[in-house]
Structure 1
Protein backbone atom coordinates (compact mmCIF):
# COMPACT_ATOMS: atom_id res chain seq x y z
CA UNK A 1 0.00 0.00 0.00
CA UNK A 2 1.40 3.36 -0.90
CA UNK A 3 0.26 5.16 2.36
CA UNK A 4 1.67 2.49 4.68
CA UNK A 5 5.27 3.16 5.71
CA UNK A 6 7.32 0.96 8.00
CA UNK A 7 9.40 2.34 10.84
CA UNK A 8 13.13 2.29 10.33
CA UNK A 9 15.30 0.36 12.84
CA UNK A 10 16.53 3.69 14.27
CA UNK A 11 12.95 4.84 14.88
CA UNK A 12 12.07 1.53 16.58
CA UNK A 13 15.17 1.81 18.77
CA UNK A 14 14.24 5.37 19.73
CA UNK A 15 10.71 4.27 20.70
CA UNK A 16 12.07 1.40 22.81
CA UNK A 17 14.62 3.62 24.59
CA UNK A 18 12.04 6.33 25.34
CA UNK A 19 9.58 3.70 26.60
CA UNK A 20 12.20 2.21 28.93
CA UNK A 21 13.13 5.65 30.27
CA UNK A 22 9.47 6.51 30.93
CA UNK A 23 8.94 3.16 32.69
CA UNK A 24 12.09 3.68 34.80
CA UNK A 25 10.93 7.18 35.75
CA UNK A 26 7.50 5.88 36.81
CA UNK A 27 9.05 3.06 38.88
CA UNK A 28 11.51 5.42 40.60
CA UNK A 29 8.79 7.96 41.29
CA UNK A 30 6.48 5.29 42.73
CA UNK A 31 9.32 3.91 44.87
CA UNK A 32 10.22 7.35 46.15
CA UNK A 33 6.65 8.22 47.05
CA UNK A 34 6.01 4.83 48.64
CA UNK A 35 9.39 4.81 50.40
CA UNK A 36 8.60 7.93 52.45
CA UNK A 37 5.83 6.14 54.36
CA UNK A 38 8.08 3.11 54.93
CA UNK A 39 10.95 5.34 56.08
CA UNK A 40 8.71 7.14 58.58
CA UNK A 41 7.62 3.81 60.05
CA UNK A 42 11.20 2.53 60.03
CA UNK A 43 12.49 5.66 61.76
CA UNK A 44 10.11 5.04 64.66
CA UNK A 45 11.31 1.48 65.24
CA UNK A 46 15.02 1.39 64.38
CA UNK A 47 17.73 0.15 66.72
CA UNK A 48 21.30 1.49 66.74
CA UNK A 49 22.16 -1.22 64.24
CA UNK A 50 19.52 0.14 61.87
CA UNK A 51 19.75 3.88 62.40
CA UNK A 52 18.56 6.01 59.44
CA UNK A 53 20.95 8.13 57.39
CA UNK A 54 20.11 11.64 56.28
CA UNK A 55 17.93 10.37 53.44
CA UNK A 56 18.80 6.68 53.40
CA UNK A 57 19.88 3.99 55.82
CA UNK A 58 23.07 2.72 57.30
CA UNK A 59 23.04 -0.73 58.80
CA UNK A 60 26.01 -1.44 61.03
CA UNK A 61 26.65 -4.93 62.35
CA UNK A 62 23.71 -6.57 64.12
CA UNK A 63 23.54 -5.84 67.84
CA UNK A 64 21.57 -7.17 70.80
CA UNK A 65 17.91 -8.01 70.31
CA UNK A 66 15.56 -5.54 71.98
CA UNK A 67 18.12 -2.74 72.20
CA UNK A 68 16.59 0.70 72.53
CA UNK A 69 16.92 3.11 69.61
CA UNK A 70 20.08 5.22 69.54
CA UNK A 71 19.45 8.89 70.10
CA UNK A 72 20.48 11.00 67.13
CA UNK A 73 23.01 8.86 65.29
CA UNK A 74 25.27 11.15 63.29
CA UNK A 75 26.18 10.44 59.67
CA UNK A 76 28.70 12.03 57.36
CA UNK A 77 30.56 11.34 54.14
CA UNK A 78 33.97 12.40 52.96
CA UNK A 79 33.82 15.25 50.44
CA UNK A 80 34.43 12.73 47.63
CA UNK A 81 31.67 10.44 48.92
CA UNK A 82 34.05 7.44 48.93
CA UNK A 83 33.88 7.12 52.74
CA UNK A 84 30.61 7.16 54.70
CA UNK A 85 30.45 6.95 58.50
CA UNK A 86 27.91 6.69 61.31
CA UNK A 87 28.50 7.63 64.96
CA UNK A 88 26.15 5.72 67.29
CA UNK A 89 25.97 5.16 71.03
CA UNK A 90 27.76 1.78 70.68
CA UNK A 91 30.40 2.50 68.05
CA UNK A 92 31.57 4.58 65.14
CA UNK A 93 31.75 2.77 61.82
CA UNK A 94 32.90 3.76 58.35
CA UNK A 95 32.65 2.08 54.99
CA UNK A 96 34.95 2.91 52.10
CA UNK A 97 33.69 2.09 48.62
CA UNK A 98 36.93 2.13 46.64
CA UNK A 99 40.29 1.30 48.16
CA UNK A 100 43.65 0.02 46.97
CA UNK A 101 45.18 -1.12 50.28
CA UNK A 102 45.59 -4.76 51.26
CA UNK A 103 43.18 -5.45 54.12
CA UNK A 104 45.43 -7.60 56.32
CA UNK A 105 43.10 -7.16 59.33
CA UNK A 106 40.28 -8.74 57.30
CA UNK A 107 42.33 -11.72 56.05
CA UNK A 108 40.20 -14.24 57.96
CA UNK A 109 37.04 -12.89 56.33
CA UNK A 110 37.67 -14.63 53.03
CA UNK A 111 35.30 -12.35 51.11
CA UNK A 112 36.80 -10.59 48.14
CA UNK A 113 35.11 -7.34 49.16
CA UNK A 114 36.26 -7.51 52.80
CA UNK A 115 38.32 -4.67 54.17
CA UNK A 116 36.05 -1.75 53.43
CA UNK A 117 34.36 -1.66 56.86
CA UNK A 118 36.08 -0.24 59.96
CA UNK A 119 34.70 0.07 63.49
CA UNK A 120 35.85 1.61 66.76
CA UNK A 121 34.26 0.79 70.11
CA UNK A 122 35.42 1.53 73.66
CA UNK A 123 37.27 -1.85 73.65
CA UNK A 124 39.23 -1.15 70.45
CA UNK A 125 39.24 -0.73 66.70
CA UNK A 126 38.62 -3.51 64.17
CA UNK A 127 37.90 -4.39 60.57
CA UNK A 128 34.71 -6.48 60.82
CA UNK A 129 33.91 -9.14 58.23
CA UNK A 130 30.21 -8.29 58.00
CA UNK A 131 29.41 -5.52 55.54
CA UNK A 132 28.28 -2.07 56.53
CA UNK A 133 25.52 -1.12 54.14
CA UNK A 134 24.92 2.57 53.56
CA UNK A 135 22.29 3.82 51.13
CA UNK A 136 21.02 7.26 50.36
CA UNK A 137 22.52 10.71 50.52
CA UNK A 138 24.66 11.65 53.50
CA UNK A 139 25.95 15.17 54.06
CA UNK A 140 29.68 15.65 53.45
CA UNK A 141 32.07 16.69 56.20
CA UNK A 142 34.48 19.22 54.68
CA UNK A 143 38.23 18.67 54.89
CA UNK A 144 39.56 20.00 58.18
CA UNK A 145 36.17 19.66 59.90
CA UNK A 146 35.37 17.36 62.83
CA UNK A 147 32.18 15.80 64.14
CA UNK A 148 31.65 14.51 67.69
CA UNK A 149 28.79 12.47 69.12
CA UNK A 150 28.27 9.78 71.76
CA UNK A 151 31.88 9.94 72.95
CA UNK A 152 33.41 9.55 69.46
CA UNK A 153 35.15 12.11 67.26
CA UNK A 154 35.89 11.90 63.53
CA UNK A 155 37.95 14.25 61.39
CA UNK A 156 37.80 14.62 57.62
CA UNK A 157 41.09 15.42 55.90
CA UNK A 158 42.42 15.25 52.36
CA UNK A 159 44.52 12.32 53.61
CA UNK A 160 41.41 10.39 54.75
CA UNK A 161 39.04 10.06 57.71
CA UNK A 162 40.17 9.44 61.30
CA UNK A 163 37.70 8.34 63.98
CA UNK A 164 38.40 7.62 67.64
CA UNK A 165 36.70 6.79 70.90
CA UNK A 166 37.37 9.90 72.99
CA UNK A 167 37.86 8.20 76.37
CA UNK A 168 39.96 5.16 75.35
CA UNK A 169 41.85 6.73 72.44
CA UNK A 170 41.22 3.69 70.23
CA UNK A 171 40.45 4.47 66.62
CA UNK A 172 41.25 4.12 62.95
CA UNK A 173 42.30 6.11 59.92
CA UNK A 174 41.07 5.14 56.47
CA UNK A 175 41.84 6.45 52.98
CA UNK A 176 41.81 5.00 49.48
CA UNK A 177 45.51 3.95 49.68
CA UNK A 178 45.87 2.92 53.32
CA UNK A 179 44.24 2.33 56.68
CA UNK A 180 45.46 1.91 60.25
CA UNK A 181 43.90 0.69 63.48
CA UNK A 182 45.14 2.16 66.76
Structure 2
Protein backbone atom coordinates (compact mmCIF):
# COMPACT_ATOMS: atom_id res chain seq x y z
CA UNK A 1 0.00 0.00 0.00
CA UNK A 2 2.99 2.33 0.54
CA UNK A 3 3.66 2.45 -3.21
CA UNK A 4 0.02 3.27 -3.96
CA UNK A 5 0.01 5.95 -1.24
CA UNK A 6 3.16 7.44 -2.85
CA UNK A 7 1.43 7.58 -6.24
CA UNK A 8 -1.62 9.20 -4.68
CA UNK A 9 0.49 11.79 -2.81
CA UNK A 10 2.27 12.70 -6.06
CA UNK A 11 -1.06 12.95 -7.88
CA UNK A 12 -2.49 15.17 -5.12
CA UNK A 13 0.58 17.42 -5.21
CA UNK A 14 0.21 17.65 -8.98
CA UNK A 15 -3.45 18.63 -8.68
CA UNK A 16 -2.65 21.24 -6.05
CA UNK A 17 0.14 22.69 -8.22
CA UNK A 18 -2.05 22.70 -11.32
CA UNK A 19 -0.42 19.80 -13.14
CA UNK A 20 -0.24 16.06 -12.76
CA UNK A 21 2.95 14.03 -12.42
CA UNK A 22 1.16 11.19 -14.14
CA UNK A 23 0.22 12.97 -17.35
CA UNK A 24 0.48 16.31 -19.05
CA UNK A 25 -2.50 18.66 -18.67
CA UNK A 26 -3.45 18.24 -22.34
CA UNK A 27 -3.12 14.47 -22.55
CA UNK A 28 -6.06 12.13 -22.65
CA UNK A 29 -6.18 8.59 -21.30
CA UNK A 30 -4.77 6.00 -23.66
CA UNK A 31 -6.34 2.66 -24.38
CA UNK A 32 -4.81 -0.74 -23.74
CA UNK A 33 -5.83 -2.72 -26.81
CA UNK A 34 -7.65 -6.01 -26.58
CA UNK A 35 -5.36 -9.03 -26.60
CA UNK A 36 -7.70 -10.60 -29.17
CA UNK A 37 -10.12 -9.04 -31.57
CA UNK A 38 -13.81 -9.60 -31.00
CA UNK A 39 -14.81 -10.77 -27.54
CA UNK A 40 -11.31 -11.65 -26.37
CA UNK A 41 -10.47 -14.92 -24.70
CA UNK A 42 -10.69 -16.33 -21.21
CA UNK A 43 -6.95 -15.79 -20.65
CA UNK A 44 -5.67 -12.90 -22.77
CA UNK A 45 -1.97 -12.17 -22.88
CA UNK A 46 -1.27 -9.49 -20.29
CA UNK A 47 0.53 -6.28 -21.17
CA UNK A 48 3.38 -5.90 -18.66
CA UNK A 49 3.85 -2.56 -16.92
CA UNK A 50 5.88 -1.34 -13.94
CA UNK A 51 2.88 0.50 -12.50
CA UNK A 52 -0.26 2.04 -13.93
CA UNK A 53 -3.51 3.77 -13.11
CA UNK A 54 -6.32 2.53 -15.33
CA UNK A 55 -10.09 2.50 -15.67
CA UNK A 56 -12.58 0.06 -17.12
CA UNK A 57 -14.33 1.12 -20.36
CA UNK A 58 -17.45 2.00 -18.33
CA UNK A 59 -15.27 4.38 -16.25
CA UNK A 60 -16.97 2.94 -13.15
CA UNK A 61 -13.83 1.27 -11.78
CA UNK A 62 -10.41 2.93 -11.47
CA UNK A 63 -7.32 1.08 -10.25
CA UNK A 64 -3.74 1.79 -9.21
CA UNK A 65 -1.54 -1.20 -10.06
CA UNK A 66 2.03 -1.77 -8.84
CA UNK A 67 4.31 -4.80 -8.94
CA UNK A 68 3.05 -6.07 -5.59
CA UNK A 69 -0.44 -4.66 -5.09
CA UNK A 70 -3.54 -3.20 -6.67
CA UNK A 71 -6.31 -0.97 -5.35
CA UNK A 72 -9.53 -0.47 -7.29
CA UNK A 73 -12.22 2.06 -6.39
CA UNK A 74 -15.76 1.83 -7.76
CA UNK A 75 -18.03 4.82 -8.40
CA UNK A 76 -21.43 3.08 -8.49
CA UNK A 77 -22.18 -0.26 -6.87
CA UNK A 78 -25.21 -2.24 -5.76
CA UNK A 79 -23.30 -4.19 -3.10
CA UNK A 80 -22.07 -3.25 0.34
CA UNK A 81 -18.91 -4.00 2.25
CA UNK A 82 -19.22 -5.74 5.61
CA UNK A 83 -19.26 -3.66 8.80
CA UNK A 84 -16.39 -1.22 9.10
CA UNK A 85 -13.60 -2.60 11.32
CA UNK A 86 -12.48 -0.60 14.35
CA UNK A 87 -8.96 -0.21 12.95
CA UNK A 88 -10.19 1.69 9.85
CA UNK A 89 -10.41 5.40 10.64
CA UNK A 90 -10.97 6.41 6.99
CA UNK A 91 -13.64 5.69 4.34
CA UNK A 92 -14.49 2.00 4.24
CA UNK A 93 -15.45 -0.34 1.43
CA UNK A 94 -15.43 2.00 -1.59
CA UNK A 95 -13.24 -0.50 -3.38
CA UNK A 96 -11.10 -3.58 -3.07
CA UNK A 97 -7.36 -4.18 -2.72
CA UNK A 98 -4.83 -6.94 -3.09
CA UNK A 99 -1.88 -6.22 -0.82
CA UNK A 100 0.64 -8.52 0.84
CA UNK A 101 -0.83 -11.28 -1.33
CA UNK A 102 -4.29 -11.00 0.28
CA UNK A 103 -7.57 -9.50 -0.95
CA UNK A 104 -9.49 -7.06 1.25
CA UNK A 105 -11.92 -4.14 1.28
CA UNK A 106 -10.29 -0.74 1.00
CA UNK A 107 -9.82 1.65 3.90
CA UNK A 108 -8.75 4.94 2.32
CA UNK A 109 -9.09 8.66 2.84
CA UNK A 110 -8.92 9.46 -0.87
CA UNK A 111 -10.28 8.19 -4.18
CA UNK A 112 -8.70 6.92 -7.38
CA UNK A 113 -11.73 8.01 -9.42
CA UNK A 114 -10.66 10.50 -12.07
CA UNK A 115 -6.96 9.52 -11.94
CA UNK A 116 -6.80 6.91 -14.72
CA UNK A 117 -4.06 7.24 -17.32
CA UNK A 118 -5.30 4.38 -19.51
CA UNK A 119 -8.44 2.40 -20.26
CA UNK A 120 -8.19 -1.37 -19.96
CA UNK A 121 -10.49 -2.59 -22.73
CA UNK A 122 -12.75 -5.60 -22.20
CA UNK A 123 -10.83 -8.75 -23.10
CA UNK A 124 -7.50 -7.16 -22.10
CA UNK A 125 -5.18 -7.67 -19.16
CA UNK A 126 -2.40 -5.75 -17.40
CA UNK A 127 0.33 -7.26 -15.23
CA UNK A 128 2.82 -5.60 -12.91
CA UNK A 129 5.11 -8.02 -11.10
CA UNK A 130 2.93 -10.77 -9.64
CA UNK A 131 -0.33 -8.80 -9.85
CA UNK A 132 -2.62 -9.17 -12.85
CA UNK A 133 -5.94 -7.49 -13.72
CA UNK A 134 -8.31 -8.79 -16.42
CA UNK A 135 -11.10 -6.61 -17.80
CA UNK A 136 -14.35 -8.16 -19.02
CA UNK A 137 -17.80 -6.76 -19.70
CA UNK A 138 -18.97 -8.82 -16.71
CA UNK A 139 -16.45 -7.17 -14.34
CA UNK A 140 -12.83 -6.66 -13.41
CA UNK A 141 -10.73 -9.42 -11.85
CA UNK A 142 -7.40 -8.70 -10.14
CA UNK A 143 -5.21 -11.23 -8.36
CA UNK A 144 -1.75 -11.89 -7.06
CA UNK A 145 -0.61 -14.79 -9.21
CA UNK A 146 1.80 -16.02 -6.52
CA UNK A 147 -0.85 -16.42 -3.83
CA UNK A 148 -3.91 -16.79 -6.13
CA UNK A 149 -5.75 -14.33 -3.85
CA UNK A 150 -7.71 -11.51 -5.44
CA UNK A 151 -11.14 -10.15 -6.26
CA UNK A 152 -13.76 -9.70 -8.94
CA UNK A 153 -15.80 -6.52 -8.91
CA UNK A 154 -18.69 -5.13 -10.93
CA UNK A 155 -21.60 -2.80 -10.31
CA UNK A 156 -23.95 -5.61 -9.30
CA UNK A 157 -21.61 -7.89 -7.33
CA UNK A 158 -18.14 -8.57 -6.00
CA UNK A 159 -16.17 -11.50 -4.66
CA UNK A 160 -12.94 -11.83 -2.74
CA UNK A 161 -10.94 -15.02 -3.11
TM-score bracket for the superposition, by shorter chain length = 0.5 to 0.7
Mind listing any 5+ residue stretches in structure 1 that lack a counterpart? 1-45, 57-70
Matched residues, number: 122
State yes or no: 1:84 paired with 2:71: no
Query: Shift in Å at residue 91 of structure 1?
Result: 1.1
Cα RMSD between the aligned structures? Answer: 2.9
Which residue of the partner structure matches residue 172 of structure 1?
151
Q: Which structure shows the bigger proportion of residues in strand conformation?
A: 2
Aligned partner of 2:23 in structure 1 is: 55
Q: State the distance in 2 between where 1:55 and 1:75 align.
A: 11
Secondary structure in structure 2 of the residue aligned to 1:49? helix
Higher helix share: 1
With normalisation by structure 1, the TM-score equals: 0.57
The answer for unaligned runs of 5 or more in structure 2 is 12-20, 25-48
Contact 1:85-1:94 at 8 Å conserved across structures: yes
Deviations 1:11-63 (A, max 9, x none): xxxxxxxxxxxxxxxxxxxxxxxxxxxxxxxxxxx95422257439xxxxxxx
Q: 8 Å contact 2:52–2:117 — kept in the other structure?
A: no
CA shift in 2, pair 1:90/1:180, >3 Å: same
Q: How does 1:100-111 map to 2 (within 5 A)?
A: 100-104=78-82, 106-108=83-85
Shift of 1:159: 1.0
- Which of the pair has more CA radius of gyration? 1
Do the aligned residues in 2 keep the contact of 1:152 with 1:165 (CA within 8 Å)?
A: yes
